[in-house]
Amino acid sequence: MDRKEAPVTERVVLAYSGGLDTSVAIGWIAEETGAEVVAVAVDVGQGGEDLDVIRKRALACGAVEAEVADAKDEFAEEYCLPAIKANALYMDRYPLVSALSRPTIVKHLVAAARKHGAGTVAHGCTGKGNDQVRFEAGISSLAPDLTCIAPVRDYAMTRDRAIAFCEAKGLPIATTKKSPYSIDQNVFGRAVETGFLEDIWNAPIEDVYEYTADPATPREADEVIITFDKGVPVAIDGEPVTVLQAIQRLNERAGAQGVGRIDMVEDRLVGIKSREVYEAPGAIALITAHQELEAVTVERELARYKRQVEQRWGELVYDGLWFSPLKRALDGFIAEANEQVSGEIRMTLHGGRAVVTGRKSQASLYDFNLATYDSGDTFDQSLSKGFIEIFGMSSKIAAKRDLQQ
């Protein structure tokens, strides 16, 4: 008699943080779908518990497999560095802290889905924020055949129901009172929202912050020299560093001076405005230094056009389109624009500000003899009169016509 093969059980890969919601989601998904759950945790420098502890917790909560990935260097070099080269500041202020981490995680989720034969990927986002788009648009770009679910959004897994589920199943998760804030953090920065911050008249209080000290506290200023090679930070005060080390060291030094605090109302992709408090000391210090070195080394017309590209690049990343064709094409432009961005920037970190005080580059386009007003000036001022006549001619002709009407 032929032995019947056991039916293949569907598998779901879950983006796992180790907290209450995603731990409960393991059993919740299994009950809702009948699928086995593979938990995947990705370390992008968010701190907290040891990865092995998180892996064991996922298994204890019912995952059939659990994978953890130390992706801090990958995140810094493949995601944060392009943002630095792009001077990426959404709405001219936000350095895309959370938006940059999502495609990193997405790549690992898709790889795990392929490895474990899963047809579905799950995440813990709500239906109100940007991250659901970042996860699902990213997954569909890398693996169009995979489907996505979000237990909080799709199966009404509220926090109260999650706590009740946790207690009923005896899961090894603390169900203490929820923090008054919603926090997302990684090595590039920290995002805080909800609670009393939802009233946009309320000022942030000091316990909101973790990466930065109070900039109003009196302290000695800190001077730092950042060295770049083709837009890549390669040394701090002459000491070679990786991109991750550059971010980490400036998180410490700029953070100690209160640099990188951002309080803003931003335009979410889903169409609502949201009050967000960010702290990104290393990101702001590096972007500030990079912008200034570009001012010295990038030709005027290229620099003007790059500023337009930077805005669009930031919008694409914010909107979850990291893997889109336009984003890839803009990456090529940004890489070319950074070919000459090499040199040193000296900055003073103090009182919540990163202020550039010196610039040095072998690729500098600054010509002292052309710029000086003192003796040694090599600029031929006699050329300017004719230049102005030609440059302003079209406006002059239009003005004559308009005055006659």
CATH code, domain with 341: 3.90.1260.10
Mean pLDDT computed over 332-343: 98
Out of 55, 57, 102, 249, the active site residue is: 102
d(CA 245, CA 282): 10
* pLDDT of 60: 93
Which of 173-177, 308-312, 355-359 is least confident?
173-177
Tell me whether residue 364 is one of the annotated catalytic residues: no
Domain limit, last residue, from 132, 156, 178: 178
Does residue 264 share a domain with residue 141?
A: no
266 known member of a binding site: yes
Question: Are 142 and 229 members of one domain?
Answer: no
Residue 124 lies in a domain: yes
Q: Could you tell me if residue 255 is inside a domain?
A: yes
Residue 140: domain span: 11-178
The confidence band for 47, taking pLDDT boundaries of 50, 70 and 90, is confident
- C-alpha–C-alpha distance, residues 213 and 199, integer Å: 24
Query: Is there a single domain that holds both residue 205 and residue 142?
Result: no
Domain for residue 377, yes or no?
yes
Same structural domain, 165 and 231: no
81 and 148 both lie in a single domain: yes
Is residue 18 annotated as involved in ligand binding?
yes
What is the number of alpha carbons within 13 Å of residue 209 lying toward its C-beta?
22
Same domain, 168 and 195: no
From 131, 184, 249, 275, the catalytic residue: 131
pLDDT tens digits for 188-206?
999 998 889 999 999 999 9
| Residue-level pLDDT at 6 | 40
Confirm whether 207 is a catalytic residue. Answer: no
- Pair 150, 187 in one domain: no
pLDDT of residue 176: 61
- What pLDDT, on the 0 to 100 scale, is given for residue 16? 94
Say whether 131 is catalytic: yes
Instruction: Tell me whether residue 87 is annotated as binding.
Output: no
Instruction: Answer whether residue 366 is part of any domain.
Output: no
97 or 129, greater pLDDT:
97
Indicate the pTM of the whole model: 0.93
Q: How confident is the model at residue 49 (pLDDT cuts 50, 70, 90)?
A: confident
Lowest mean pLDDT among 28-32, 71-75, 301-305, 336-340: 28-32
pLDDT band at 48 (very low <50, low <70, confident <90, very high): confident
Catalytic residue check, 102: yes
Average pLDDT of the residues in 241-256: 98
* Per-residue confidence (pLDDT) for residue 8, from 0 to 100: 52
Domain count, the chain: 3
Residue 17 assigned to a binding site: yes
Looking at residue 305, its pLDDT comes to: 98
Annotated active-site residue in 182, 324, 361, 364: 182
Q: Domain boundary at 147, 178, 209, which? A: 178
Cβ 327 vs Cβ 313: under 8 Å = yes
The reply to whether 146 sits in an annotated binding site is no
188 lies in the same domain as 315: yes
Indicate if 113 and 250 belong to the same structural domain: no
278 is in an annotated binding site: yes
pLDDT in tens, 370-383: 888 888 888 888 88
Q: Are residues 165 and 274 in the same domain?
A: no
Same domain, 242 and 308: yes
Residue 112 has pLDDT above 60, yes or no: yes
94 belongs to an annotated ligand binding site: yes
Percent of the chain with pLDDT over 70: 96
Q: Is residue 3 part of a domain?
A: no
